[in-house]
Amino acid sequence: MRARQWISNQQQQEANTVVFAPAVPQQPSLSPAVPQPFRPSQYTCMDIGCLCSYMRGLSGPGGQCTLQNGQPMRQAIRREYRQLSDNERNRFHAALQQLKRSGEYDRLSAQHREVGTASGAHSGPGFLPWHREYLKRIEIALRMIDPSVAMPYWDSVMDFYLPNPRDSILWSPLFLGENDASGAVVNGPFGGWGTLEGHAHIQRALGNEGRLFNESDIQNVLRQTEIQNILAYTAPQNGCPYPTNYGALEYSHASVHLWVGGDMRPPAQSANDPTFFVHHSFVDYIWEMWRQSRQSRWTREQAYPQDYVYCANQQHFSNANMRPFAISNRDGLSNAYTDNMYRYAPRPTCSHQNPGACNSNYLFCDTRFNYAHCVSKVKQGGNCRGFEGLDACWNGFCNNGRCIPGQMPMATTPPPPQPNAVRAPAQNPLRNNAANTTISTGPAMCLNDDPCCPIWASRQECRSNTNYMSRYCKRSCGYCRAPIDRRQGCFNRHNNCAYFRNQGECTRRRQWMSENCRAACGWCNMSPSQLCLSVARFSRM
């Protein structure tokens, strides 16, 4: 029931303020339509071709991208955290640390705090699409720093098997760090990280409540055949035709938040802890496994539960805006995420015939029963009871239920032969081979949304029509900080204009493109006033 409380819904909606554009100077009876929301940045990209210019790369045919050091920019491969090499793991940590130092980590974390309650991010069908988009954005932020990095996933099933999951190597300085008696994370890559609430340390309370994922949770999700059991109504009210689904992925995911505790417990604080992102990467992977096994390619982008006001607040409806992102909840179903931006390496597996197939120094194969499976190693001093004789301890061995330093004693007798056993080949885990490049995320660009903005600003509309001008003419009215630009004539303000043109945006987003990508769209033969009038007319067609 605490998981239900964790995702409890306070149904509210933001009020929309109606705004109107000023009139076109040459034709006072004509006012252009309010521009479509378009805030292009690296975070809105849905393929490598879009991301390329933000990475200062060279675009090639077929969406290829060559980085400044000559290496190709590739799709991210999300692998289990403990299957990263030491170098890959250290680079992931270093990118997170740089993101934290820059302030961008806290800015992205604050986006989750804003939707911690009363939103379409929790307690309903929008949960999985929202977090998919959010996770994509932090992965992009990391890759802007180091393109070789991908967001790993934490398969907590492998910790669930331990007698005390708090003793997992995951909670050591090598990975997520340890906390002191007060719960403060004091070592590891995130030791000493402050929080949005002003605390000096991330807080955790491992194992005080909740539980980790187990294999039954995963298989329960994969067995489902109806979309409302995946994009679930997790907080329905009286009148909803669907009962509360306590087996929904959102519920089992919430139990892991509770198990980690501390900052991970309340939704508004959970993104303070980088554990949030590796946990949600696994949640997203579970969803993707279901999509691949139960849905056709077409259905993946179309199937969404019906919009019932008694089942979820309206921010969860399929065509509702995915606040604070300028896309809809349905957009979060796009195949483009895993077609272009990232994909998942398989979960670690092993067998009696190939106990070394976990492919990690931080995992071992539990072969005690018929079902062999990978388990997280235990840190020194931790509880390893039941795993004596197995390679269960990091840099040590299991003696009387405790991991102690040293090498595991060799078996005095060989194991019995496996009749008709065929030794499986060792897995060759997918690796990222992207470039070693450090790139700053940089501030968001300061742009207008309509070509008439400079003309309106010169006519004092910034003062007389503040509601419109503060939203759509930020550059001309000084509502954002733009770098000094002394270029004259016809040029592109955005560095991704060629990509936008090739995607058909000169037609779809004529207002924004005529202001910011004038050269790319071929409108240099028109004066600013002519372009203002022409685009205003088109916007009303």
pTM of this structure: 0.85
Kindly state whether residues 459 and 340 are assigned to the same domain.
no
Asked which of 294, 327, 344 is the last residue of a domain, the reply is: 344
Question: Residue 522 domain-assigned?
Answer: yes
Question: Residue 22 domain-assigned?
Answer: no
Distance separating alpha carbons of residues 370 and 355, to the nearest angstrom: 13
Please check whether residue 310 is in contact with residue 119, taking contact to mean a CB–CB distance below 8 angstroms: no
Kindly report the CA angle at 70 between 64 and 72, in degrees rounded to 5? 35
Secondary structure (3-state) at 169: helix
Residues near 421 by Cβ (< 8 Å), separated by ≥ 6?
A: 352, 353
Question: Residue 3 domain-assigned?
Answer: no
**Residue 421 token pair:** 């056993």
Asked which of 320, 344, 368 is the last residue of a domain, the reply is: 344
Question: Residue 415 domain-assigned?
Answer: no
Kindly state whether residues 473 and 326 are assigned to the same domain.
no
- Residue span of the structural domain in which 134 resides: 46-344
Q: What is the number of structural domains in the chain?
A: 2
Q: What is the pLDDT along the chain (541 residues), one digit of tens a residue?
A: 555 554 443 333 333 456 899 999 889 899 999 998 788 899 999 999 999 999 999 988 888 999 999 999 999 999 999 999 999 999 999 999 999 999 999 999 999 999 988 899 999 999 999 999 999 999 999 999 999 999 999 999 999 999 999 999 999 999 999 999 999 999 999 999 999 999 999 999 999 999 999 999 999 999 999 999 999 999 999 999 998 888 999 999 999 999 999 999 999 999 999 999 999 999 999 999 999 999 999 999 999 999 999 999 999 999 999 999 989 999 999 999 999 999 999 999 999 999 999 999 999 999 999 999 999 999 999 999 999 999 999 999 999 999 999 876 544 333 433 333 333 333 333 333 333 444 444 445 799 999 999 999 999 999 999 999 999 999 999 999 877 777 888 999 998 999 999 999 999 999 999 999 999 999 999 999 999 999 999 998 8
Kindly state whether residues 190 and 323 are assigned to the same domain.
yes
**Residue 39 token pair:** 């805030």
In this structure, what CATH number is given to the domain that contains residue 315? 1.10.1280.10
Kindly state whether residues 471 and 326 are assigned to the same domain.
no
Question: Residue 493 domain-assigned?
Answer: yes
Distance separating alpha carbons of residues 168 and 149, to the nearest angstrom: 24
Kindly state whether residues 475 and 338 are assigned to the same domain.
no
pLDDT number for residue 3: 55
Amino acid at 106: D
* DSSP secondary structure string for all residues of 100-139: HHHTHHHHHHHHHHHTSSSSSSSSSTTHHHHHHHHHHHHH
Question: Residue 109 domain-assigned?
Answer: yes
Asked which of 295, 321, 344 is the last residue of a domain, the reply is: 344
Amino acid at 265: R
Residues near 445 by Cβ (< 8 Å), separated by ≥ 6?
A: 40, 41, 493, 494
Question: Residue 464 domain-assigned?
Answer: yes
Kindly state whether residues 55 and 184 are assigned to the same domain.
yes
Kindly state whether residues 340 and 457 are assigned to the same domain.
no
Kindly state whether residues 58 and 198 are assigned to the same domain.
yes
Residues near 48 by Cβ (< 8 Å), separated by ≥ 6?
A: 63, 64, 65, 73, 74, 75, 340, 341
Kindly state whether residues 328 and 474 are assigned to the same domain.
no
Question: Residue 65 domain-assigned?
Answer: yes
Kindly state whether residues 135 and 270 are assigned to the same domain.
yes
Q: Is 407 exposed, middle or buried (0-12, 13-18, 19+ CB in 10 A)?
A: exposed
